[in-house]
Structure 1
């Protein structure tokens, strides 16, 4: 069995899928994308495909090593995401060949269901209480929201108070038995991050995500030490080595993204590395169905798992939601805020190829917002 064909599909709202077909007719699917740079990743897939065509698809680790390290210049979000999507598809093929879910190939599941959380509030968080109540009514046990919209690197007292008020509004609906997490998105400076952690401590967030930018990880220990709030990060880290400084600083929760951090192969290794530091694993995944299916396979097989991000109903998915490109949505039908174990082989989903090919004819040109402050200077999104 050899790899015969590799295709990519640019599909709304902001995703990129890849399809690998073998000489035996087995097909695997992956989701290699950098949000806002999908076309660039598509080109990277074309380059990496030069190596994969004609290879045995079951030699996944061999291929991962060459795809990741075969170029003198390595890493970064584009190449790591391209490798990730190809890795998803190879694992999907392997599962289908061996007749087993990917989680079983990783050593077997360690849990029967995976807790998931829902997004509320959007980029400029509003109507928090109503949105949280809707998620509670839907059976969700945890939500996450942006701590703020556009915000100064050194926030005013009013801006700080608005963050606390949003958290209080969510907590008033959730009560003590459900969880809320907030995402700072690297929007404030190091000193402000410390102040925010202290300010929200009484609301007991499940975690505060990305309090500092990746380029400021050398200050992460100061931020973590400023409060008892668990700190999470990792969506903009792309390898095991990228996570070492964060784990050494005492980060409580790692959040690698299966579509950015080298795929299933590297996500699993990052989770194991985190376990040796006593850190929990909460995969980042505000993307499409293939990415989520791949992430869930790792989550089912990971002992130090905490909670899984998912994009059903997220504010980015205006044109197409999580189930738009699968023939059976049941793997994404949450039960009491959890994903149930799915015994189907490979990634456990059936991609609607006809819908994907039709959507690719339209494509997309999604770009993240570019924000500025009132004085015209750049603001972190």
Structure 2
């Protein structure tokens, strides 16, 4: 029996994780659930899965959740704040942590799980993008297990030998090929992207995701962050990580080997597949996903990404090559720019321009600890806000 903490249980990954857990009550129990503001939904999840602890964003939310749980006759302990997130991620009563809080907000709790030696199911790519070597060092020193949940990285993980240890050459790996759907604007005229609305940007043609990650998919910053994440997960340099546009989203990613073999992982676009794989690794369990029917799909298409259409992808490669604080600045600038776009303060094509300006403004520096990382994160956010205003 594994005891699971889900950081971000009311988001799309959290909900999908609970769907898988519900299929296997004999294997998994929920230790803690966390949410920031969706208190009603969190209360419903607590009623179904009966966690020992529930964590929310602030004191007012904690009072509201306590009232709702009391009315349901539940004894779940309610806490709040970032330290509470770190506590449930590192608690002795927890074996496995699903790290699914979006963006930089999930960094501290994900790192806490790493330092505590937990089995970490990493759906928060930004945590690894920001902290890079710090995160990998924490996993190594504590003996934690790090399993990727992003469909692309989970696919790569499945296509690599079980003994793989972040050394492509040792295993004959030539390329890691990350597939990308191309998002909602793959075929839209580049000249019209200035007029894109938030509603259009979040309407992803394949995946059901949150608003921020949907915009990242539309700009392909999501894929750029995945390139950086792949570097840290698999030890591959930028020159060995390629992005391939694959609109059907059936091949989730591939690994090319020195003997000419290319191994691919296929499946219907449903996050319950990588979640189930990581939960049971190295075994496999039912995920509830409908089996893939290749004859119904008919054909699979592949093209190279157009960097004029998707400049955010190039910015991410630039940040990976620059090293140091560059990826932290990239991620922070993107979070603020996307939020401004969703709130109607800037246009769609201003997102990549704001990120580029911020990266030009802030010199690359060494990130030696969490404090220096957070300092660069805040400098980048301040710079973007100044550009916007």
Query: TM-score, normalized by length of structure 1?
Result: 0.28
- Structure with greater helix percent: 2
Query: TM-score, normalized by length of structure 2?
Result: 0.27
Larger relative contact order (CA 8 Å, sep ≥ 6): 1
